[in-house]
Amino acid sequence: MFSFRATDTCTTTAARAGWLSTPHGLVQTPAFMPVGTRGAVKGITARQLREVGTEILLCNTYHLALRPGEKLVERLGSLHRFTGWDGPILTDSGGFQVFSLDELRKLDDTGVMFRSTVDGSWLHLTPERAIQIQNSLGADIIMVLDVCPPAHADTPQMLQAVRRTLLWAEKCREAHRRPDQWLFAIVQGGLDENLRYECLQQLIALDFPGYAIGGLSVGEPPPQMHRILQWLGPALPAAKPRYLMGVGRPIDIAEAVACGIDMFDCVMPTRNGRNGYAFTSGGPVRLRNSRWTLADEPLDPACGCYTCSRFSKAYLRHLFVAEEMLGPILVSLHNLYYYQEFMARMRQAIRSGCFATWLEGFRRSPVAREVPNGDHEA
Amino acid sequence: MFSFRATDTCTTTAARAGWLSTPHGLVQTPAFMPVGTRGAVKGITARQLREVGTEILLCNTYHLALRPGEKLVERLGSLHRFTGWDGPILTDSGGFQVFSLDELRKLDDTGVMFRSTVDGSWLHLTPERAIQIQNSLGADIIMVLDVCPPAHADTPQMLQAVRRTLLWAEKCREAHRRPDQWLFAIVQGGLDENLRYECLQQLIALDFPGYAIGGLSVGEPPPQMHRILQWLGPALPAAKPRYLMGVGRPIDIAEAVACGIDMFDCVMPTRNGRNGYAFTSGGPVRLRNSRWTLADEPLDPACGCYTCSRFSKAYLRHLFVAEEMLGPILVSLHNLYYYQEFMARMRQAIRSGCFATWLEGFRRSPVAREVPNGDHEA
């Protein structure tokens, strides 16, 4: 039912291309997953997701467990049936949101107490519960509950976080009940290489079908992230899919692909799209800028998306200035298409043996100078 | 370039079916025009408009003249090119919005002074200016500037309004410069039959290519509107398209079709859609209602729209409760499809000679008991 194969590898970097087979279809890797926080990518229909080239969708366990609740989703079939997206789905464990959204919480070895952002009630998220929720939601790939400390955490905090992440990974594996779902482990350890290495070794011993890297792109400077990825990416088991959580800017994704990462998710294409920020081959376009008032050309003449085939920057700018919801929709569509095209270009470069050359060129391109780095969905 | 033909007529009512030919394509009548206030139907792409069966779009002159400005639209080609909707477009004159939005105004025979809702500046809308703006926007059908008094206006006010409406209609006709645009007249006169009749006769003498009825559905009880339509509809020139502005609920449209009306516009499908109110063959569905929490069936099993083909009421309800913008989008799509299907059903009934029977049945259906009647876009 499940399989993963890296069919092509780069000779000078750790980049690889291949495919991931799931009960709901194939995914070409390296793959980008749009974020459908509450079971919907904001403003984008399931059909539009397909049209922009999406092959796998990420949904947030935390938000769905609070509303509408995993039992409701289970009763109505599964997340696939509920959301109308019949392709592969990955759910995160909810841990990241608990740690980033809720100030009031109590953390111990059994799990984490937090207040619901929906109704203020106290909830206890344990490794067992995180798996139970994800078993009910029914995604193809589910994630262990991990402890995700902030970037500024000190060493004792970081050690404690890794210890609990390992303890919970084992508990999650034991609690997992559905062979039609793949459970991925998450490597923590912040920017400490020894801690990351230790965490990885112990997770490898538990033999998960896939490995993710968590706790990056949480506020550290990008060069720090790249330093960790350079040795950690290739150190993840080669025969299994590798997933870098919550990353990121196109340049971060490209660098991570060069480190052998296969899967990505990020809210940037949609969140930035809603704010009038478009990714283009010529670099970022901020649509509220008055320089586009009379711009009778598409966002990106090199782009084949619906938005670029039909609308001028002047029209898109008008929609943002007039606060028409079609603006966020059209730019989100474009950005999602841009990201999927970007992944396809990298896969093609890897397959044709020219990824290293492509990466060199990309590092010098205007897109590599994209700015903001607020990319996880909290 | 332009033509109109009523090809089929009902033997027992004044209903008729036919087509309207414009420089941007054919429109089957009776026709429903979705409202694209600022050059966009809220949350709906041009392609989706086509998919739900739209053949002609309405845009609001007032909003577009204030932002982005008609000169910008003209410089970028036309409203068709700017909005990406390449089918027929009708623009209203902006009069209705001036009279409903702006408290601070001065009205005389030359025109109306009002404050911009965008930047508070004083603007003078004259018949000449209304036409000039619409010539710049470039819609296929444009409207004269009329005076639209509130439903509670007294007789002297109403007389004055009709007098100015007639004066301005003539000025508009003289100011109109583009033979590739049809200029329609607007009959005013409130609920006073003599005044309506007088207004109509004088407008007929001016020989416009189409006639609209304004000043209905502005707060009067529906039976009052029907009383006016029953004689006024058939009194409009039979060889020309007849347009009832800003109406309305499905039952109001059906009754107006029975009075010989050919064209309609209304914000109800989209505005109600954004509020989680769906039109269905079984009557209205309010999606925020908790009775739909576990409803594993489409909005309307009889409906062939994208929303109904793919999503359950439970999912749509979840989107509204979670405030996901996809909820308004999917229900707006459904409602627009519902309206277009409704028009198609009436055209078919007229063509096959069974409209009167159909109308009898429709009057007894749950849809005929639809509630709210807030239908103009202000």
Instruction: Give B310-330 pLDDT, tens digit per residue.
Output: 999 999 999 999 999 999 999
Closest alpha carbon to B266 in B254, B280, B284, B276: B254
- Of the candidates B40, B47, B325, the beta carbon closest to that of A306 is on B47
Closest alpha carbon to B28 in B14, B16, B17, B42: B17
Euclidean distance between CA atoms B4 and B167, whole angstroms: 27
Contact A325 B43 (CB under 8 A): yes
Distance from CA of A335 to the nearest CA of B (A): 16
Determine which of A106-120, B192-206, B353-367 has the lowest per-residue pLDDT on average: A106-120
Q: Do residues B37 and B91 make contact, with C-beta atoms less than 8 angstroms apart? A: no
Chain B interface mutation, best of A315, A317, A334, highest count of B Cβ atoms under 10 Å: A315
Over residues B329-358, mean pLDDT:
98
Closest alpha carbon to B228 in B203, B205, B261: B261
Distance from CA of A30 to the nearest CA of B (A): 28
Q: Which of helix, strand or coil describes residue A108? A: strand
Q: Which of helix, strand or coil describes residue B359? A: helix
Please report which helix (H) or strand (E) contains residue B348, including its range.
Answer: helix B326-351
CA B101 to centroid of chain Cα atoms: 18
Nearest CA in chain A to B85: A310
Over residues B248-256, mean pLDDT:
96
Determine which of A109-123, B59-73, B166-180, B334-348 has the lowest per-residue pLDDT on average: A109-123
pLDDT interval class at B367 (50, 70, 90): confident
Over residues A71-83, mean pLDDT:
98
B88-133 pLDDT, tens digit each: 999 999 988 888 875 657 899 999 998 888 888 888 999 999 999 9
**Any catalytic annotation for residue A92?**
yes
Q: Do residues B307 and B330 make contact, with C-beta atoms less than 8 angstroms apart? A: yes
Amino acid at B64: L
pLDDT of B151 over the 90 cut: no
Tell whether B226 lies on the interface with A, counting CB pairs under 8 A: no
pLDDT of A57 over the 60 cut: yes
Contact B306 A67 (CB under 8 A): no
pLDDT of B360 over the 80 cut: yes
Distance from CA of B329 to the nearest CA of A (A): 7
At residue B140's C-alpha, the angle toward residues B250 and B376, to 5°, is 35
According to the model, what pLDDT value does residue A378 have? 56
Tell whether B237 lies on the interface with A, counting CB pairs under 8 A: no
Contacts of A137 in chain B (CB under 8 A): none
Q: How does the average pLDDT of chain A come out, rounded?
A: 95
Determine which of A96-100, B43-47, B338-342 has the lowest per-residue pLDDT on average: A96-100
According to the model, what pLDDT value does residue B364 have? 94
Supply φ then ψ for residue A312, to 5 degrees: -90, 160
Determine which of A92-101, A332-341, B268-277 has the lowest per-residue pLDDT on average: A92-101
Over residues A59-70, mean pLDDT:
96
Q: Do residues B62 and B41 make contact, with C-beta atoms less than 8 angstroms apart? A: no
**Which stretches of B13-137 are DSSP H helices?**
46-51, 61-66, 70-75, 79-83, 95-101, 127-137
pLDDT of B218 over the 90 cut: no
Distance from CA of B84 to the nearest CA of A (A): 6
Over residues B211-222, mean pLDDT:
92
Contacts of A83 in chain B (CB under 8 A): 315
Over residues B62-70, mean pLDDT:
96
According to the model, what pLDDT value does residue A120 have? 86
According to the model, what pLDDT value does residue B66 have? 94
- What pairing do the DSSP bridges indicate for beta strands B57-59 and B35-36? parallel
According to the model, what pLDDT value does residue B97 have? 87
pLDDT of A374 over the 60 cut: no
Q: Using only C-alpha atoms, what is the Rg of chain A?
A: 20
Contacts of B39 in chain A (CB under 8 A): 315, 318-319, 322, 324
According to the model, what pLDDT value does residue A371 have? 62
According to the model, what pLDDT value does residue A118 have? 85
Chain B interface mutation, best of A318, A323, A377, highest count of B Cβ atoms under 10 Å: A318
SS3 content of chain A, % helix, strand, coil (to 5): 45, 15, 40
pLDDT of A144 over the 70 cut: yes
Closest alpha carbon to B286 in B276, B296, B297: B276
Over residues B178-191, mean pLDDT:
97
**% of chain A surpassing 90 pLDDT:** 87
pLDDT interval class at A346 (50, 70, 90): very high
pLDDT of B374 over the 70 cut: no
Domain ranges of chain A: 3-266, 276-361
Q: Which residue has the higher pLDDT, A258 or B120?
A: A258
Token pair belonging to A72: 């409701």
Euclidean distance between CA atoms A344 and A356, whole angstroms: 15
According to the model, what pLDDT value does residue B103 have? 62
Euclidean distance between CA atoms A376 and A265, whole angstroms: 8
Euclidean distance between CA atoms B18 and B55, whole angstroms: 13
According to the model, what pLDDT value does residue A231 have? 97
- Of the candidates B46, B315, B321, the beta carbon closest to that of A83 is on B315
pLDDT of A265 over the 60 cut: yes
Tell whether B311 lies on the interface with A, counting CB pairs under 8 A: yes
Question: Could you give the ipTM of this predicted complex?
Answer: 0.95
- Of the candidates B84, B318, B326, the beta carbon closest to that of A45 is on B326
Closest alpha carbon to A278 in A263, A261, A264, A295: A295
According to the model, what pLDDT value does residue A377 have? 60
B3-96+127-266: CATH superfamily: Queuine tRNA-ribosyltransferase-like (3.20.20.105)
Euclidean distance between CA atoms B67 and B73, whole angstroms: 10
| Tokens 């998919």 belong to residue | B51
Tell whether A312 lies on the interface with B, counting CB pairs under 8 A: yes
According to the model, what pLDDT value does residue A368 have? 87
| Tokens 């004083």 belong to residue | B122
| Tokens 């229909």 belong to residue | A45
Among the options B92, B102, B146, B252, which is catalytic? B92
Closest alpha carbon to A126 in A108, A101, A100: A108
pLDDT of A122 over the 80 cut: yes
Contacts of A325 in chain B (CB under 8 A): 42-43, 325, 328-329
pLDDT of A102 over the 60 cut: no
Q: How many CB pairs under 8 A join A and B?
A: 116
Please report which helix (H) or strand (E) contains residue B28, including its range.
Answer: strand B25-29
Supply φ then ψ for residue B318, to 5 degrees: -55, -45
pLDDT of B82 over the 90 cut: yes
**Any catalytic annotation for residue B92?**
yes
Amino acid at B193: E
Euclidean distance between CA atoms A180 and A282, whole angstroms: 43
A296-308 pLDDT, tens digit each: 999 999 999 999 9
Euclidean distance between CA atoms B225 and B220, whole angstroms: 7
According to the model, what pLDDT value does residue A98 have? 84
Q: Which residue has the higher pLDDT, A334 or B149?
A: A334
According to the model, what pLDDT value does residue A204 have? 98
pLDDT of B68 over the 70 cut: yes
At residue A222's C-alpha, the angle toward residues A218 and A226, to 5°, is 105
A3-266: CATH superfamily: Queuine tRNA-ribosyltransferase-like (3.20.20.105)
Token pair belonging to A156: 């004792």
Euclidean distance between CA atoms A252 and A371, whole angstroms: 11
According to the model, what pLDDT value does residue A149 have? 86
Whole-angstrom distance between the N-terminal and C-terminal Cα of chain A?
32
Tell whether B351 lies on the interface with A, counting CB pairs under 8 A: no
According to the model, what pLDDT value does residue A136 have? 98
- Of the candidates B76, B318, B326, the beta carbon closest to that of A68 is on B318
Taking CA atoms, B313 is separated from A84, B238, B340, in Å, by 12, 44, 21
Chain B interface mutation, best of A47, A66, A324, highest count of B Cβ atoms under 10 Å: A324
**Which stretches of chain A are DSSP H helices?**
46-51, 61-66, 70-75, 79-83, 95-101, 127-137, 155-175, 193-205, 222-235, 250-258, 268-274, 306-310, 313-321, 326-351, 355-363
* Cis peptide bond N-terminal to B150, omega within 30: no
Distance from CA of B14 to the nearest CA of A (A): 39
Nearest CA in chain A to B328: A43
At residue A255's C-alpha, the angle toward residues A348 and A143, to 5°, is 90
Euclidean distance between CA atoms A10 and B187, whole angstroms: 73
